[in-house]
A and B are shown apart, each in its own frame.
Chain A
């Protein structure tokens, strides 16, 4: 019988915190500035400059630690991790090795076999590096330090995951917790959330872990799942051939669906960590922790329960509405404006999801405002536009966040509720389609659908379908 293998996975997740300024200086963290326009002597590593810690970074790190059931290290400090690379101007990265701010936590995930806890070994604070652009033309590299010093937390899990599904469930859980806390937007595709996957395989029942590899460059949930499948297969193949797995860092190429070795343990770097003498220790009092705990916003599980109770939203819909903080924010703000939670939920669950799928978008990319969705709902409710026109208007709200009131006015999309005008049109439709009228009188109920369609066409889709039906039946 063929050997059965088990995959053992642990993750290192880097999350860019949503602070306005960098971790050790007053430079902006705003994304997309021209190269080096958000830099100063501190984040470009000039001799004699002095880093000063951004208090908000500590608060976000504590908030994430509390929400992931970690214990907070009440006396913590920063260390220097030494290495040479042009994106790291100090030749060391300020990070935490000896006393990371959070330890021994965990989050619960759902698996097909039931609930499972994924342990969190530690969470530490550190600074991001700059960005390198390789110039093929001049055969040089260009360094942009705008990202240098942007605050990160690194969340190190225990090797508790056994499949790609569990990894995705864990990442999704972390993403939602951190988004709801407001500590980061956690966008994998923009790099504000990055995951390195540590993976090994072993025979089912074995006590010892196999030799692991670390995979980098994974920037979507799909890429992570593919990389895990690919690496698992590669390691099992090596073992089946009687070879051994080398402990190394590998880079996943999602286009080629293959990973290749970046560096092996033999030339692994010796970081010579030591306490950073420029930064004084951090003392976190019980009161400080209590204050952050008290200020914790409503997290996803609480929100989900509240939607079901307060708005009578079904289970499945509440799951979808809370699956992104941004979606939940739109739902709540729109409901606040129009007081019609069911209708808001309906627009989000049906038309919004359909258009998201069509345009291959994530909920976090939704651009329309609650004001405009609320206006659209009011227009339908007041009978100003009919439901098919409403769908058309919604597409514009979705794509360009237009003002539905103005749009309907300008395009002349108001439903015709004028009975006289409708009656005249319907009389003409009846006169033009004697065959259908006859079919209807002979008991073919379907014929009325054709006549409604003809009327709508004559009215350019703007007739109130309820009224058309009523008048038609009356005239027939």
Chain B
């Protein structure tokens, strides 16, 4: 493996992804991520001079909706996905910035 993921990196990625990993899981993740980066390095061997950067896999653009209200009040169904409900709102642990 050419790419070695440091302990600091895996710790940082864990914080960003809000994941708590055990020691074994961390080692596994470090090895998986190293392999992914190796694969990217492989792609980097290709000569892409004169190739336009691709921003989407489909050759499609300009897919639009007209500005017309199509959805009614479906609150009861939407709230079925809520971890808790209070006064028509999703109830979550207190979050203040």
Residues in chain A within 8 A of chain B (CB atoms) = 19-21, 25-28, 34-41, 44, 46, 52-56, 58, 77, 82, 84-86, 132-135, 138-145, 262-263, 270, 272, 275, 277, 279-283
Nearest residue (CB) in A for B69 is A28
Contacts of A279 in B (CB 8 A): 63
Contacts of B90 in A (CB 8 A): 36, 86, 142-143, 145
CB distance from A55 to the nearest CB of B (A): 4
Residues in chain B within 8 A of chain A (CB atoms) = 16, 18, 55-58, 60-71, 73-75, 78-79, 81, 84, 86-97
**16 A-B pairs in the complex with CB atoms less than 8 angstroms apart:** A21-B68, A21-B69, A26-B65, A37-B73, A39-B75, A41-B78, A52-B65, A54-B66, A86-B95, A134-B94, A139-B94, A140-B93, A142-B86, A144-B89, A280-B56, A282-B62
Report yes or no: A39 in contact with B74, Cβ–Cβ below 8 A: yes
Contacts of B94 in A (CB 8 A): 134-135, 139-141
Contacts of A281 in B (CB 8 A): 55-56, 61
CB distance from B38 to the nearest CB of A (A): 20
CB distance from B64 to the nearest CB of A (A): 4
Report yes or no: B68 in contact with A36, Cβ–Cβ below 8 A: no
CB distance from B63 to the nearest CB of A (A): 5
Report yes or no: A20 in contact with B69, Cβ–Cβ below 8 A: yes
Shortest Cβ-Cβ A-B pairs, 9 listed: A26-B70, A142-B89, A55-B64, A56-B67, A143-B90, A35-B88, A37-B73, A35-B89, A281-B61
In the complex, A54→B64 CA distance in Å? 6
Nearest residue (CB) in B for A17 is B67
Nearest residue (CB) in B for A271 is B16
Contacts of B71 in A (CB 8 A): 25-28, 38, 40
In the complex, A39→B71 CA distance in Å? 8
CB distance from A121 to the nearest CB of B (A): 22
Report yes or no: A20 in contact with B93, Cβ–Cβ below 8 A: no
In the complex, A145→B68 CA distance in Å? 19
In the complex, A281→B62 CA distance in Å? 6
Contacts of B78 in A (CB 8 A): 36, 39-41, 44, 145
